[in-house]
Homo-oligomer: A and B are copies of this chain.
Amino acid sequence: MAKTFIADCKEGQAVTDFFLVRAREIRRRRNGEPFLSLVLGDRTGELPAVMWEGFEGAAAALREGDIVKVQAAVGTFQGEPQLQVQRIRAAAAEDGVDLEDFLPRSPRDPAEAVGALTAATGRLADPHLRALLEDLWADAAFVRAFGDAPAARTLHHAYLGGLAEHTASVVALCETIAGHYPGVDRDLLVASAILHDVGKLQELQWHGAFEYTDGGRLLGHIVQGALFVEERLKKYPDFPPTRRDQLLHIILCHHGELEWGSPVTPKTLEGLILHHVENLDGKVNQFRAFAREHRDPGRPAWTTYIRALERHLYLGPAEAEGGAGPAPPPAADP
């Protein structure tokens, strides 16, 4: 039976399906009796939900990030849909739920993004860098993880496939820029672009909800990426030591400034370029996510005030008039 997606829930409808628990809280009625307040979601969006009674057993075990099966009616509250839950239970292995249904996902097919990166690898002239990368793309477990991973827990490209989308975008821009400026070591720039965020695979976990791993919190993706590349280099005793230093340097310096978490600042032209391109790509993605999620209803050419950026963003008059928007939501992707 086809899943009922959040985006399709309509008032008055009865729903029995699986959703991801994005928030969970016990609150209390005025009469002293508690009730369960949830936010349930899937890859198309999220809705508030309440369960007035009979939730004690289920609630004790529930965690944010769990997938649950609920039986509910779609009611309304303050003119917006709300799920009124009658029954709830945690999903079990035998339910065979497909994680992909529950998490936001890049509009770009990760296979396609990985294909673009493989193609860029094929355009490398440096045999050492090409061998290192071809070996990665031949590693099915790596490719699967790389295609699934988000690029961040929040901030930018924070959805499944975000890492591949971000990496492919950065690589494409770097290939252009390598031709734009003379004197750039094209192979070094492109190979570094492919590997710059590879430590995200160790830093993050993305099964159920996006979260840092213990190692991610203790070491961070920048150093985890360097350790990962160093480990893969063991296979290549002839890899030139200078090349290794240049490559590791760019991974380490890609945040650009010490206070942004890089232990060294860019000292090579390629490190400088990668930092700026990577920053631009993250900022553009972030702008588009904010534009999508924080439109000011009272002033539709603008977002509400975004504390993280200390500003309102201007979406322009076309936006205000419902014209062609800047950024389709990732989950609107068929």
- Residues of chain A at the chain B interface (Cβ within 8 Å): 26, 28-32, 34, 63-64, 77-79, 169, 172-173, 176-177, 180-185, 214-215, 217-220, 222-223, 226-227, 230, 242, 245-246, 248-249, 252, 258-265, 267-269, 272-273, 276-277, 279-280, 283-284, 287-288, 291, 298, 301-302, 309-314, 316-317, 324-328
Contacts and interface: CB of A to CB of B under 8 A. Distances in A.
24 contacts: A28-B78, A32-B77, A34-B78, A183-B288, A183-B325, A217-B264, A217-B314, A218-B245, A218-B248, A218-B264, A219-B226, A219-B252, A223-B223, A230-B230, A259-B259, A261-B263, A263-B263, A267-B311, A269-B326, A272-B287, A276-B276, A276-B279, A276-B280, A276-B283
Nearest to A80: B26
A268 B182 CA distance: 31
Contacts of A176: 173, 176
Contacts of A280: 177, 273, 276-277, 280
B248 A219 contact: yes
Contact of A284 (B77, B246, B272): B272
B78 A267 contact: no
A167 B143 CA distance: 40
A88 to B, nearest CB: 17
Contacts of A245: 214-215, 218-219
A36 B206 CA distance: 40
| Copies of this subunit | 6
Contact of A312 (B169, B184, B267, B269): B267
B185 A180 contact: no
Contacts of A309: 265
Contacts of A219: 226, 245, 248-249, 252, 264
A246 B218 contact: yes
A44 to B, nearest CB: 20
A267 B217 contact: yes
A26 B78 contact: yes
A63 to B, nearest CB: 6
Contact of A272 (B184, B217, B283): B283
Pick the 6 closest A-B CB pairs, nearest first. A183-B326, A218-B249, A276-B280, A30-B30, A263-B263, A259-B259
A220 B264 CA distance: 7
A123 B66 CA distance: 45
A173 B182 contact: no
A177 B283 CA distance: 13
A223 B181 contact: no
Contacts of A217: 264, 267, 302, 312, 314
B252 A269 contact: no
Given A182-B327, A217-B312, A276-B279, 20 more contacts: A26-B78, A34-B77, A183-B288, A183-B327, A214-B302, A217-B302, A218-B245, A223-B226, A246-B314, A252-B263, A258-B260, A262-B263, A263-B263, A267-B313, A267-B314, A269-B288, A272-B287, A273-B280, A276-B276, A276-B280
